[in-house]
Amino acid sequence: MSEAKTVLILPGDGIGPEIVSEAEKVLRLANDKFQLGLELEHALIGGAAIDAHGVPYPDETHAKAEQADAILLGAVGGPKWDELDTAIRPEKGLLAIRSRLELFGNLRPAILYPQLADASSLKPEIVAGLDILIVRELTGGIYFGQPRGVHNNEQGEREGFNTYRYAESEILRIGRLAFESAMKRNKRVCSVDKANVLEVTVLWREVMEELAKEYPEVELSHMYVDNAAMQLVREPKQFDVIVTGNMFGDILSDEAAMLTGSIGMLPSASLDKNSKGLYEPCHGSAPDIAGQGIANPLATILSVAMLLRYSLGAGEAAAAIEQAVSQVLDQNLRTADIFSEGMQRVSTADMGKAVVAAL
Ligand code: NAD
């Protein structure tokens, strides 16, 4: 790598610092082993930032985030800050960094390592070896559309309303991310919408069809969201890449995460138009187990692999980390959340140490 690249590390709250500390060891080792020339920086976000600066996303953190090539985040939030006004809650820090860096493209792989097939609530044969990628639009749609609010209507009754809107350019950029991702996988994209009822998604479907012409090797299909929710449970392995809007993606990605039965295993990426990204585990700050040294650091370690692959072009290092994770599972090492009979129960730190050793 010619010029030094910077990775900003935001441990956050709860189990965040515990899991990020293990992931950072893996990142430092990959940096040395593959001579990536990365520089690591640290900053505060969430409750930790509120305690130090009174706000969940301080300007100082934003300045570092803008400069960085990629960002690794643990998780934010916890009971200590639950009584605060929603405008300055830790979770606002997360929304702020996503929107201020325009991280519109959320990638959430749902991968079930064959070693953990028993962790799923579905039959092992339905989910073993599952490997799907959900591409969710993250900065538009009904969560952001204006006007919105609650008012008294003409009958004097309270009425709540939100606006579902997508501009063509917003659909195009998320669609492109999905098609590009599919090109690196099994070349199938399923676009999920509700085009039988919602005009926004009629446009969504049209734009996806137009975009598909640029990717003749990729097979595009469409599915209504209600059917997609059903198919994900019925036969999840039929999917390769699923692309969808903000709200449908919110729901389907959680459903897909639970297919794997182990929230402590799932990484995620949120990308801007230049593939700069924020990488974090799918789970939250787990205050119920914070400080006990039992959290599973693997989702965060796998987030490091995604960071290297998608933002730093270091695919070889990413694959080596994923291989190391698979190896520790083969050694029957399990944190409490993925523990089953006959396995060896290990702490957060021991799991991190094992991945470092395997790498
Ligand atoms: P959570 O994901 O933190 O926890 C849900 C359950 O999963 C808990 O029982 C927890 O112990 C367990 N769990 C989560 N991650 C684990 C891991 N790595 N290893 C082992 N077990 C794990 O969700 P929650 O309880 O709804 O939320 C707790 C806090 O996290 C709240 O303040 C919430 O706002 C915040 N949150 C933050 C993010 C984020 O930072 N991206 C996402 C979701 C929730």
What residue ranges do the domains of the chain occupy?
1-106+263-359, 131-259
Residue closest by Cα to atom 26 of ligand 1: 284
Q: Quote the ligand 1 centre to 246 CA distance (angstroms).
A: 20
Q: Render pLDDT for 31-89 as a digit per residue (tens, 0 to 9).
A: 999 999 999 999 999 999 999 999 999 999 999 999 999 999 999 999 999 998 877 89
Residue 140 has pLDDT above 70, yes or no: yes
Topology adopted by domain 1-106+263-359: Isopropylmalate Dehydrogenase (3.40.718)
Which pLDDT score, from 0 to 100, does residue 95 have? 86
Residue 226 annotated as catalytic: yes
Instruction: Quickly count: other Cβ atoms within 10 Å of residue 328's Cβ.
Output: 24
- Ligand 1 atom closest to Cα of residue 74: 40
Which pLDDT score, from 0 to 100, does residue 64 have? 98
Q: Quote the ligand 1 centre to 78 CA distance (angstroms).
A: 9
Residue 143 annotated as catalytic: yes
Which pLDDT score, from 0 to 100, does residue 54 have? 95
Q: Which residues line ligand 1 (CB under 6 A)?
A: 15, 19, 75-78, 91, 94, 263-264, 280, 283-289, 295-296, 299, 337
Average pLDDT over residues 293-320: 96
Q: d(Cα 174, Cα 245) in Å, to the nearest integer? A: 9
Residue 224 annotated as catalytic: no
Question: Looking at 250, 272, 350, 353, which residue is catalytic?
Answer: 250
Same fold, 1-106+263-359 and 131-259: yes
Single pTM value for the model: 0.91
User: What 3-state DSSP class applies to 334?
Assistant: strand
Question: How do beta strands 267-271 and 277-281 pair?
Answer: antiparallel
Which pLDDT score, from 0 to 100, does residue 2 have? 54
Q: Please provide the CATH number assigned to the domain covering 131-259.
A: 3.40.718.10
Q: Where does the chain show beta strands of DSSP type E? A: 5-12, 38-42, 70-75, 105-111, 131-137, 149-152, 158-161, 188-193, 219-224, 241-244, 267-271, 277-281, 333-334, 344-345
